[in-house]
Structure 1
């Protein structure tokens, strides 16, 4: 074998083809890996545009073995290892090519296609420089060929759509030539080690050895070895007195975190946690030969380790005010505040700031994070903003004033009081942030009442509750019908209100509150210890007016709890963040799907009319043709941008596979709801999950509640559903139930071993709303259904049953069919369940 470091362009140029062999898994990179790569690319682009000379970014290795060379053909290479990054980069270039075409830069598009993607003078399969494994091939070729099916529901399509969206949202204030610089970075500044096997090498054995390596040294291990190599005289004493106690206190993971934070607080805000050994080595290298200076450096690191412990475990902080501020940020979760918090503790311990000043500064950080979450400001640059803070803060101001002024910077997007108020009224708060962050906001709002007998939140078992239910019975729709606007249905009004903050509260009585009419809920809420629940119970009814009135009160409280930026006026030319979210949602939609103006409005916290106005007034939004009226028709106001668009939106959607009826209405099975769009954007949607089972006693009570709700709301389907669940149990499965008011039921299968637990479930059954959700969204991450072909087979087996029509474009989502199907087709559904169990058993038998 031979190895060489090479750029991506040099790797792929020439008449060659990279073939992914059958033993390789299918393409599996998800949003997290794609975002990490794009962040690295964006950083290199910024450096290049700023006139710096960025060092190439090491992407990893690609192991190749020579394939068959035919006379006059292409040189074939088998991709032994590295197909994930190779496929990802090819898809990034495909999206870049299409971005150039979309923006009228055809010359650049042709250059990308001929230099990177295709063997220009070869036809058939030889035309493609990359040939993925068979399971991914059609999806990849659809993207490369720019067909209507490009960007489907599989991982290949999702990666293509991710890069299309990232390129469409060029950064604010971008320099001219930004997209061309992206091309330069992808071609010339991503460094790859090309490892080439010789003819006759056993490539499968090479693949096995590469993917079965032992545990390597951590970054902190490498740094420790380097430092003590430079301490031949003092090493043993320094290790015993400084390094070992620090290592024992923090543990390996937090020690590595400390070493990274030490770089960031010192001003190296570009440092990556994967490269801290190299960066620290570079910093300490000038001290080689000066053991006293190295000892001082380790002593300073150990002192910072003590401060990091106060951040990780706030009870260690002696100042009550600072302890409370640290506790609140710990409750918020994540490490995003660590660099700034560590910098502030440095100042306090050095006597350059008081604990009260540091606590006030951290209060501004909490306000910044909470307001952005409520207003759903995109978080893609949040890490960078807070990592830059220690270096960028004004030194001649108090820490609190310096932090507030820094976070108030124009491009740092700290929402104003006006923006906060509007978001509380309109944004789907239930889809914002993480569950613990939503709980944090509601808890702080409750605490703002300063009750004489406050609730002990540490002991209370509280969850977020919808007052207007998510799946309400008809009585609730009758109430909402009194407040609808012209042309608006009660369902549409419900969807715009249900997830807003004004309709949410905390309660420990979720199952009792259920979907009851408001009068029954009043009685339960009135007995609550929470002031916010007592206020809700005092209302005469619960509809649009009451929800918006409560939203106004909560917005005023939120503005007091979390003060806003300096100069609370948004610039007139600054775009509302919801429009960026709209564009991201449309790009994220797989081919063969459509949505409505109302669904988009629900997602971004707007109204169908301004959504339509925005789309008609901003031609060229990618995927705008996918937005239809509530009954699935093309809007009369839709217009293609001048010089673009071939055919009508209906014709284009039909080419993608969306059926339309004779009246021009798109088929409902291809519609993506606001919930689907939120899921595609990676929002953390609260869902019942069998991996979070109820305790036995609660599960038994939930079983009775499920059957009661089923028989009350779906009497015709009840016998068929229960017969199928009994059949499931005969196959070795069991039932578990959800925690929400509508008691969902999941048929679960243990498909793992005692040492490697692994559960599978095909459906979620909802007895009040009468739906069965097919959980492709979960199955795509669980063997064996992480194989797209098996999920597609499940879909096809279900679609063979009358009354079920699931769209292939929803293989990453949770499409549904009516629970009533069980009434006439219980036996056919049992056959699908039997196949599901058999498929899982075969997979378990094959596993080591």
Structure 2
């Protein structure tokens, strides 16, 4: 095999085609990998624009084997390894072409198309420079050909839409044409790839197996250890025994690797990636080769820093009460974002450059920064980079608390002001922000701010977030909300704008009892709570819009005091409201063939349908603006393209993507994306409504009878079909579980694991009161074998062959539903699909064993 380092442009140029073999998995890069790549591209673009000459970014390797070539045809290469990188970059160039076309640079778009994407003078499949595996081929060629279905609901479509959005946001921030030219240069010439080519006749599949079954490799810290002790021929054994081994044992492998990376970051190497630790540390230590005294001092210093790092990950080791308290709060907050700055501050404390109290105050600003950003749902893009830059950027002539606060208050670091915080508490869907434990942490800190003489022991209490106005309220709740609706606003729309906001949320250990009970019943339960915030809610006469907003204002007052804001306080002038960027991101995330409403978008971003409509009306060029319809599913009468646009009317565009409209001009509801589904597509941690809990308590006689009684009452025609299907499932080796809540959901569960490795699967959940059956693709996507999109697509296709079931492929990552009444006439067909589901899971288990 031969290897050479090469740019992407040089790799793909010429009459050639890269074919992904059928034995490889489908394209699987998701949001995290795409964001990391785009951040790397962004750094290279900044360097290029500033004239800084930096090394190309090493993207990885591509292993190729020569394929058959016909006279006058293209040279074919089988992609043995590296298809994810190759496909991702091709999709980036496809989106770049469309961006250039949209901005009027037709010559640039033509250049990208001919140089990168296609073999211009060849037809049929030979026309494409990349030919993915057959499962991905249709989605990929739709993007290259810019067909209506480009940007579908699978990973190929999601990556294409990601890059479309990235280019649009980049132009929004930097309208200068130099930026897009720099992006093109980076993608073509500054991403380094190692091209490894096999010889003709080599066993390609054997090479693939070898690459993907190499066992556990050496970690970055292993490589560094081996290198360092190679340079210590005389003192190595003693230094290892006295310094390295105790450090390694106290930290463990993962934290040791993290320490070695943090050591570089706090020294000012803020651009170092964790995959480059060994290379950067080797470069730093190379000049010390031959000086064993100096190398021993370096290891001693690293071991000392390791002891400080342990105080961050295990705050109980910290002796200062003030510093220990804030380290415990940051540990409860979770994540590693704050580690570089925290370690730098502990370095200062131990060196005498700051007192423990000053470090505690400085880390209090860090907590405030993180909490305020979550409440305001500020995008986390660049957050790690900000904290990696901090040790180098802090002003050294100021006390630590002042230096940290000034640094985090920088204009581009987006520390929300008091005004922004108050707006977000009133309007943002707090329940979709951050992680569940972070939401609970904020509510817990707000409760503690009441200063109760008998505080709750949160470490022992089993509390979870409770919606006072229920997520799925009974009719009497809507009757109350109807008294407070605005003109042309339904009670449901008002409910959706309020239900997930902080003013409607509390902590409780009685969520099952509270459920969607009337407020009078909730009052009784909350009044008996030990939490002051619950007693305050119980003292209200009613619970509607006025009460929720009033409580939001009171909680905002507490939040402002608990978590002080940036220097300058309330800002009178701001950059663009962050909600509009979130709106644009949501519309980019929508797969082709879907639509949403102004109300759904408003609920997502914490706004109102009217300003959403006004914004889209003044920004019709926003990607996906035509997908936003009225609550009835109609195109708004006020929607207009730019006068210079030659685009089809919105309805025609949606129909070309597969959206059906009825004679009254209403889009089919199965293609609508709710606010929760939009939030899911954006990667928010959207928990299912409590009454739709997919992980219920278990199968017992009382809950089983409650489910059957609810089904008999609301969908009697489906009872026999559902019962026969559940019996069939049990005979296949599965079991049935039921929900905890007032609407008793039912899920057919399958244990597809072993005693050592439990692996639960469930294909659907039945809701007897709502009369719906949810197909849980959202959960299956993380569970083998249905983490492969082809297996989920097969499940979707099999179900769609049944009359009455119409699941859109655009919701292959979500939880689409069909009416439970389908069981009445088609139970046997549904059982056939479930039989396939069980068989597929069994085959996968046999393969894994």
Q: CA deviation at 1:430?
A: 0.5
Match for residue 44 of structure 2?
44
Question: C-alpha separation between the residues in 1 aligned to 2:587 and 2:142?
Answer: 19
Distance 2:708 2:45 in 1: 58
CA contact (8 A) 1:688 1:738 kept: no
In the TM superposition, what whole-angstrom CA distance separates every residue of 1:760-785 from its partner, at most 9, and x where no partner exists?
21112234433221111222333333
Query: Cα distance 1:701–1:105, how it changes in 2: closer, same or farther (>3 A)?
Result: farther
CA drift of 1:486 comes to 0.9
CA contact (8 A) 2:781 2:813 kept: yes
Paired residue for 1:119?
Answer: 119
CA contact (8 A) 1:515 1:742 kept: no
Pairs within 5 Å for 1:819-830: 819-830=820-831
User: Hey, what does 1:833 align to over in structure 2?
Assistant: 834
Structure 2 counterpart of 1:109:
109
Counting only pairs closer than 5 Å after superposition, residues 496-535 of structure 1 correspond to structure 2 as: 496-535=497-536
Contact 2:697/2:737, CA 8 A, preserved across alignment = no
Provide the rounded CA distance (Å) in 1 between the counterparts of 2:651 and 2:830.
34
Aligned CA distance change for structure 1 residues 45 and 782 (closer, same or farther; 3 Å): same
- d(CA) in 1 for partners of 2:522, 2:719: 27
> Following the alignment from structure 1 to structure 2, what is the Cα–Cα distance between the partners of residues 161 and 610?
25
Tell whether the 8 Å contact from 1:691 to 1:759 is kept in structure 2 after alignment.
no
Find the counterpart in structure 2 of residue 393 from structure 1.
394
2:11 equivalent in structure 1: 11
1:624 paired with 2:625, answer yes
Aligned length, in residue pairs: 847
Aligned to 2:455, the other structure's residue is in SS state coil
Q: Distance in 2 between matches of 1:661 and 1:563?
A: 53
Superposition pairs for residues 334-353 of structure 1, below 5 Å? Answer: 334-353=335-354
The answer to whether the Cα contact below 8 Å between 1:64 and 1:80 also exists between their aligned partners in 2 is yes
Contact 2:776 2:814 in 1 (8 A): yes
Change in Cα spacing, 1:602 to 1:700, as seen in structure 2 (3 Å) is: farther
Q: Compare 812-821 and 384-393 and name the one that shifted more.
A: 812-821
Shift of 1:38: 1.2
Q: How does 1:252-401 map to 2 (within 5 A)?
A: 252-401=253-402
Aligned to 1:61: 61
1:714–1:476 distance in 2 versus 1, CA, 3 Å = farther
Matched, 1:782 2:768: no
Change (3 A) 1:714 1:506: farther
Higher deviation after alignment, 32-41 or 626-635: 32-41
CA distance 1:555–1:573, change in 2 (3 Å) = closer
C-alpha contact (below 8 Å) 1:513/1:741 kept by paired residues: no
CA separation in 2, counterparts of 1:173 and 1:408? 22
**TM-score normalised to structure 2 length:** 0.97
- Alpha-carbon shift at residue 645 of structure 1 (Å): 4.0
What SS does structure 2 have at the residue aligned with 1:446? helix
Listed as ranges, the gaps of 5+ residues in structure 1 are: none
Matches within 5 A, 1:661-676: 661-676=662-677
- Tell me if structure 2 keeps the 8 A contact 1:514–1:742: no
- Contact between 1:505 and 1:533, CA under 8 Å: does it hold in 2? yes
Q: Deviations over 1:44-83 (max 9, x none)?
A: 1111112111211111111111111111111111111111
What SS class does the counterpart of residue 68 from structure 1 fall into?
A: coil
SS at match of 2:67: strand
The question of 1:140 aligning with 2:140 is answered: yes
Map of 1:427-446 to 2, 5 A cutoff?
427-446=428-447
Q: 1:52 & 1:383 partners in 2: Cα distance?
A: 22
Cα–Cα, structure 1 residues 331 and 715, in superposed 2: closer, same or farther, change >3 Å? farther
1:522-548, CA deviations, whole angstroms, 9 ceiling, x for partnerless residues?
111110000111111111111111111
Aligned to 2:816: 815
1:400-449 per-residue CA deviation (whole Å, 9 max, x = no partner) reads 11111111111111111111111011100000000000000000000000
Residues 714 and 767 of structure 1 are in contact (CA less than 8 Å); yes or no, is this contact kept in structure 2? Answer: yes
Between 756-765 and 171-180, report the one with greater CA deviation. Answer: 171-180
2:154: which partner in 1? 154
1:608-632 superposed Cα distances (whole Å, 9 cap, x missing partner)? 0000000111231011000011101
Shift of 1:515: 1.1
Unpaired stretches in structure 2, ≥5 consecutive residues: none
Deviations 1:471-501 (A, max 9, x none): 1121111111111111111111111111111
Provide the residue aligned with 1:570 in structure 2: 571
Q: What SS does the corresponding residue of 2:765 show, helix, strand or coil?
A: strand
Contact 1:49 1:175 in 2 (8 A): no
Once the two structures are TM-superposed, the CA of residue 382 in structure 1 deviates from its matched residue by 0.7
Counterparts of residues 684-695 of structure 1 (less than 5 Å): 684-687=685-688
SS in structure 1 at match of 2:796: helix
Q: Deviations over 1:686-711 (max 9, x none)?
A: 23899996676x97776566556555
- Hey, what does 2:163 align to over in structure 1? 163
Q: 1:144 to 1:555 in 2, by over 3 A?
A: same
1-side partners of 2:417 and 2:750: how far apart?
A: 49
What is the TM-score when the length of structure 1 is the normalising length?
A: 0.97
Which one is further off, 745-754 or 261-270?
745-754
What is the CA–CA distance in structure 2 between the aligned matches of 1:162 and 1:672, rounded to whole Å?
18
Distance in 2 (alpha carbons) for counterparts of 1:435 and 1:510: 15
1:91 aligns with 2:91: yes
**Counterpart residue number, 2:589:** 588
Alpha-carbon deviation of 1:189? 1.1
